[in-house]
Chains A and B, each alone.
Chain A
Amino acid sequence: MTDYKNAIEIKDLTKKYDGFTLDNISFNVPKGSIMGFIGQNGAGKTTTIKLLLNLIKKDSGSIKILGMDNIDSENEIKAQISAVFDEIPFHEVLTANNLSVILSDIFPEWDKKTYMNYLDRFSLPRKKKIGEFSKGMKMKLQIAAALSHGAKLMIMDEATTGLDPVVRNEILDIFLEYLQDENNSILLSSHITTDLEKIADNVTFIDKGKILLSGGKDETVENHSLIKCKKTEYKDIDPADIISARLTDFGAEVMVSNRKKMSGKYSGLTIDDTSLEEIMLFYVRREKKEWS
């Protein structure tokens, strides 16, 4: 087995489409961690994931998964990873039992006992057709299948989107359990930032095909802050410090980085903590540094 520090290493990855370019992106997912991959719809999350899985061909750059090149060692990598998408890829006429027979043929390390345990844990019927499952049940089935072949890395594209908070929490708990093994890692793409705040160790923020931020989640949140001030006070803030600002009739909210420095510089203003969601929102609007 290859020794590796990062479960995923992406370097200078580029993919051009008509009207969209994934532009020279680089980031790593450290082994044993959950990386939240954030961005609005169309930002390039799914394209990046497809490139990781070699579902589409890259134009340039390199991708290493579990220490191996994602194209040269494709089959070896794919035996050790799981990919979960927002749409279930299993035929509606099949049952969970049928699926076990099929997947045992696909994955060399398929563990029927683990799979059946997950079915029981998620209260999923074994003989009911998948077409009769609810969306939450379908997602649980997909995750049960993903966790039953000893995968070292789970790649999830909007896996929790459209699920109710109870099911989402249940699934997030499973992810945390999965990470108890320090060899396991997760790349979780989502625009539900509250989920990522709960479980992610690191976050990478992508917008319009470019990586804007990548690093520890706590550091990212701590490093940003929101200055709330009156319109008159807003003029006193140095434009170089402003990432983006929202102006209303009542005042202004200004996203700034380097909280410590800002606290000293603007001691007379209220500086609040911020969240991943607010960071994402302000970064998306950064080109309009002021918006009403």
Chain B
Amino acid sequence: MKGLIYKNLLLSRKYYIMAFIYCLMFALIAILVRISMICGNLSHDEEVLDSLTRNMYILQYTPCLPFLFAFSADGGAIFSDFNCHWIRFCFTTPINEKKITVTKMISTSASVTFAYIISLIYTTIFCLIGGNFPAPDIIINITGIYFAVLGVALTNVALCFTFRKEQTVEIILTATVSIIGLVMTFFMMLKLDSMTTDENFDLLDFFRSEYGWILDYLMPAAFIFMLITGIICYYVSVKSLQRREN
């Protein structure tokens, strides 16, 4: 099994490098801005400092983005397997459907874990330098996202195996999720816009008071989601591969 996992990791490595460069780049920007805020030109203007501290809150969400690379890595590796007839080759060897599925799930978990580690490193650097972000909250947040993304990534494995010829299904799903996300962001912005008249408004406090319950339940809910989708993914993928005539 280790040879197959090795192959999957080799196929995904370009996505890992992209995720790493991406985080390095954003961390570098944050470091430079923070250095300037502490001892550079920005440290002289209190108004600008205050504004920057607020605006940099948004950077706390950037650790979520390496997960996108992990997600692309797994989908890309499976499509690559089909495109170069690797799956057909596997069926001419002693490998069975269960082994193919399990190795894909392990590889998917590995790449999402890799994204999680990058996110944690990025967050830690950010918190250490910035000093104004509540690190435990963010880490809990990222861990919840880790389980949620892992669940989605495992579903992606099943989707890739099941709907190989019907990729439109995946496109429709992605488009639907994106539209829901956009609509939610739009309404959140409208709400924020109506509340930011108060000079003492704190974005993080607002999120805690309004959406704190999400943080409380995010991790266990995401874990359960990951567990259920993982099990479903396994059975759906194995059954789909057993049909073979796909």
Q: Is the CB of A92 within 8 A of B3?
A: no
Q: Does B190 contact A (CB under 8 A)?
A: no
Q: Does A240 contact B (CB under 8 A)?
A: no
Q: How far, in angstroms, from A44 to B135 measured CA to CA in the complex? A: 65
Q: At the interface, is chain B mostly helix, strand, loop or mixed?
A: helix
Q: Which residues of A contact B96 (CB under 8 A)?
A: 75
List B1-46 residues whose CB lies under 8 Å from chain A. Answer: 1-4, 6-7, 10-11
Q: Which residues of B contact A93 (CB under 8 A)?
A: 10-11
Q: Is the CB of B245 within 8 A of A56?
A: yes
Q: Does A213 contact B (CB under 8 A)?
A: no
Given the contacts A91-B84, A93-B10, A75 and B91 also touching, CB distance less than 8 Å: no
List A82-102 residues whose CB lies under 8 Å from chain B. Answer: 82-83, 85, 87-94, 98, 101-102
The contact of B7 among A54, A83, A98, A155, by CB within 8 Å, is: A98
Q: Does B134 contact A (CB under 8 A)?
A: no
Q: Which residues of A contact B91 (CB under 8 A)?
A: 53-55
Q: Which residues of B contact A101 (CB under 8 A)?
A: 3, 6
Number of A-B contacts (CB under 8 A): 77
List B81-110 residues whose CB lies under 8 Å from chain A. Answer: 81, 84-86, 88-96
Q: Is the CB of A78 within 8 A of B245?
A: no
The contact of B4 among A57, A94, A102, by CB within 8 Å, is: A102
The contact of B84 among A56, A90, A155, by CB within 8 Å, is: A90
- Residue from A79, A83, A88, A91 having most chain B Cβ neighbours under 10 A: A91
Q: Is the CB of B93 within 8 A of A87?
A: no
Q: Is the CB of B94 within 8 A of A79?
A: yes
Q: Is the CB of B3 within 8 A of A83?
A: no
B240 to chain A, nearest CB (A): 15
Q: How far, in angstroms, from A93 to B9 measured CA to CA in the complex? A: 12
A266 to chain B, nearest CB (A): 49
Q: How far, in angstroms, from A237 to B10 measured CA to CA in the complex? A: 67
Q: How far, in angstroms, from A54 to B85 measured CA to CA in the complex? A: 15
Q: Which residues of B contact A83 (CB under 8 A)?
A: 89, 92
Q: How far, in angstroms, from A93 to B4 measured CA to CA in the complex? A: 15
Q: Which residues of B contact A56 (CB under 8 A)?
A: 244-245
Q: Does B80 contact A (CB under 8 A)?
A: yes
- Residue from B7, B85, B92 having most chain A Cβ neighbours under 10 A: B92
Q: Is the CB of A91 within 8 A of B92?
A: no
The contact of A85 among B11, B85, B95, by CB within 8 Å, is: B85
A176 to chain B, nearest CB (A): 23
Q: Which residues of B contact A54 (CB under 8 A)?
A: 91, 244
Q: Which residues of A contact B94 (CB under 8 A)?
A: 75-76, 78-79, 106-108
Q: How far, in angstroms, from A132 to B48 measured CA to CA in the complex? A: 54
Query: Please, how many residues of chain B have a CB less than 8 angstroms from a CB on the other chain?
Result: 24
Q: Is the CB of A91 within 8 A of B4?
A: no
Q: Is the CB of A94 within 8 A of B92?
A: no
Range of interface residues on A (Cβ < 8 Å): 20 to 34
Q: Is the CB of B89 within 8 A of A78?
A: no
B57 to chain A, nearest CB (A): 39
Instruction: Kindly report which residue of chain A lies nearest to residue B95, judged by CB atoms.
Output: A106
Given the contacts A106-B3, A106-B95, A89 and B89 also touching, CB distance less than 8 Å: yes
Q: Is the CB of A98 within 8 A of B93?
A: no
Q: Which residues of A contact B10 (CB under 8 A)?
A: 91, 93-94, 98
B12 to chain A, nearest CB (A): 10
Q: Is the CB of A89 within 8 A of B4?
A: no
Given the contacts A104-B3, A105-B1, A106-B93, A55 and B88 also touching, CB distance less than 8 Å: yes
Q: Does A116 contact B (CB under 8 A)?
A: no
Q: Does A103 contact B (CB under 8 A)?
A: yes
Q: Is the CB of B244 within 8 A of A107?
A: no
Q: How far, in angstroms, from A57 to B91 measured CA to CA in the complex? A: 13
Q: Which residues of B contact A81 (CB under 8 A)?
A: 92
Q: Which residues of A contact B93 (CB under 8 A)?
A: 78-79, 106-107
Q: Which residues of B contact A79 (CB under 8 A)?
A: 93-94
Q: Which residues of B contact A155 (CB under 8 A)?
A: 92
B192 to chain A, nearest CB (A): 45
Q: How far, in angstroms, from A65 to B96 measured CA to CA in the complex? A: 18
Instruction: Kindly report which residue of chain A lies nearest to residue B80, judged by CB atoms.
Output: A91
Q: Is the CB of A87 within 8 A of B85?
A: yes
B94 to chain A, nearest CB (A): 4
Q: How far, in angstroms, from A87 to B81 measured CA to CA in the complex? A: 13
List 19 contacting pairs A-B, 8 Å CB cutoff, sorted by A.
Answer: A53-B92, A55-B244, A78-B93, A79-B94, A87-B84, A88-B84, A88-B85, A89-B84, A89-B86, A90-B84, A91-B84, A93-B10, A98-B10, A102-B4, A102-B6, A102-B7, A105-B2, A107-B94, A155-B92
